[in-house]
Structure 1
């Protein structure tokens, strides 16, 4: 098993945001996390790469990295956790004063100490992959939202992560721009990148995911294959959520 999560919990003050979360993910699988706002989806995603520190629980990777959050976690362990993943945010988070190619090479050069020439070569390959090679010398303000998000994906891929994390990557986009980002993500799924995404794009999640988690109130209410969770949900709360999302009045 590539990634195992056991009994993960997280509170902010008196607000218990995650309650005894358990997840198993194989290498090359796509896991989608769905649920209403405030259900804990983004907090769970941020726990996977150390942007949030759980209060308790265990995260284990197949290479032997094991973090038990009821014990004192060493900085080196958090650093190892962070190096495993590339994160794509809702709001792009590009450096506005840097060009597209400069944004993509920033991580490999600063974090991984890669030589600039090889970082640029890989950046150009990744920009071609997301359909933006001709925009390499543009600045973020010269790009559409969809183009900026595709740069964000290229930037995350440049770190050569084992795990790609997507936090509602289309939520800030105009409807007509969503498709170009989803196409890139679909291509990554076909290439067997291991991916976890928080999304409201239920139909898309059903198309590319191996597993779906439905969260509400900090719990995993239901989990299984897209067929199980989206087509034949067992839990009443899942049925209510899908009815509202897929068949709005």
Structure 2
């Protein structure tokens, strides 16, 4: 098991955002998280790379690294957690004053202190991988939303993470740009990257996921393979959500 999560909880003041979350991720598995806005999906994702710190819960990784959040967590342990993952954000979060190539090189060179020539060569390869070989010297404002998001994916891959985290990566895109980003993500799934994806793209989740979690009100209401959760959900809340998404009136 790559990662086991148990008893995860997070509040902001009086607002309990995550409540007793338990689930596992296997190596090479794609886990999609679906659910209504405000159900805690993004907060949970941010807890997996150190952007938010849970109030309670235990992470157990297959390499023996574990974190218990009921006690004070050391800064170096949060840093180790953040180094395990690469995050692709909803709003791209690219450096506006850096080219696509420089954005992808930034983490390896500045954070990981890797050789600049090596980092540049890898960045060029990654931009080719996401179909942007002609755009490496362009700045974010010169790229479409879909192209910016693909730079974001290349930037996450450049860190050579064990886990890729996607926070609704297509929700800010125009419909005609979504397909290019989803294709890159499907390719990564086929390469057996371990991925946790927060998404509203139900068809995409059905195609690429090994496991789907449905969240509502800070809880995981239902989890299982795509057929179980998306085609034959047991819980009434899951059924209602899917009905709204798939058959909007």
Fold equivalence (TM over 0.5): yes
Q: Superposition RMSD on alpha carbons, in Å?
A: 0.4
Q: In structure 2, what is the equivalent of residue 96 of structure 1?
A: 96
| 2:54 corresponding residue in structure 1 | 54
Provide the C-alpha distance between the structure 1 equivalents of 2:235 and 2:95, rounded to a whole number of angstroms. Answer: 43
* Paired residue secondary structure (1:205): helix
Structure 1 counterpart SS, 2:172: coil
Question: In structure 2, what is the equivalent of residue 195 of structure 1?
Answer: 195
Q: Distance in 1 between matches of 2:91 and 2:240?
A: 29
User: What does 1:169-248 correspond to in 2, within 5 Å?
Assistant: 169-248=169-248
- Cα distance in 2, alignment partners of residues 65 and 134 from structure 1: 41
Distance in 1 (alpha carbons) for counterparts of 2:174 and 2:215: 26
Question: 1:132, 1:160 → 2: CA distance?
Answer: 19
Q: Distance in 1 between matches of 2:151 and 2:178?
A: 14
Tell me what 1:37 maps to.
37
Alpha-carbon distance between aligned partners in 1 of 2:168 and 2:104, rounded to the nearest angstrom: 20
Are residues 1:27 and 2:19 paired?
no
Shift of 1:240: 0.3
Number of residues of Structure 1 aligned to a counterpart in Structure 2: 249
| Secondary structure at the counterpart of residue 63 of structure 1 | coil
Instruction: Give unpaired runs (5+ residues) of structure 2.
Output: none
Give, in angstroms, the shift of residue 7 of structure 1: 0.5
Unaligned 5+ segments in structure 1 are none
CA shift for structure 1 position 64: 1.1
Shift of 1:234: 0.2
Q: Distance in 2 between matches of 1:179 and 1:91?
A: 17
Distance of 1:83 and 1:133 partners within structure 2? 27
Matched position secondary structure for 2:87: strand
Residue 116 of structure 1 aligns with which residue?
Answer: 116
Instruction: State the 1:133 CA deviation.
Output: 1.1
Shift of 1:60: 1.1
Q: CA deviation at 1:71?
A: 1.2
1:9 aligns with 2:15: no
SS at match of 1:90: coil
1:122-201 aligned within 5 A: 122-201=122-201
1:119 aligned counterpart, secondary structure: helix
Rounded Cα–Cα distance in structure 2 between residues aligned with 1:100 and 1:50: 25
- Give the distance between the partners of 1:19 and 1:125, measured in 2 at CA: 41
Distance in 1 (alpha carbons) for counterparts of 2:99 and 2:47? 30
Query: TM-score scaled to structure 2, two decimals?
Result: 0.99
2:212 is paired with a residue whose SS is: strand
- Distance (Å, rounded) in 2 between the aligned partners of 1:71 and 1:85: 23
Alignment deviations for residues 127-160 of structure 1 (CA, whole Å, 9 cap, x no partner): 0100001111111111000000000000000000
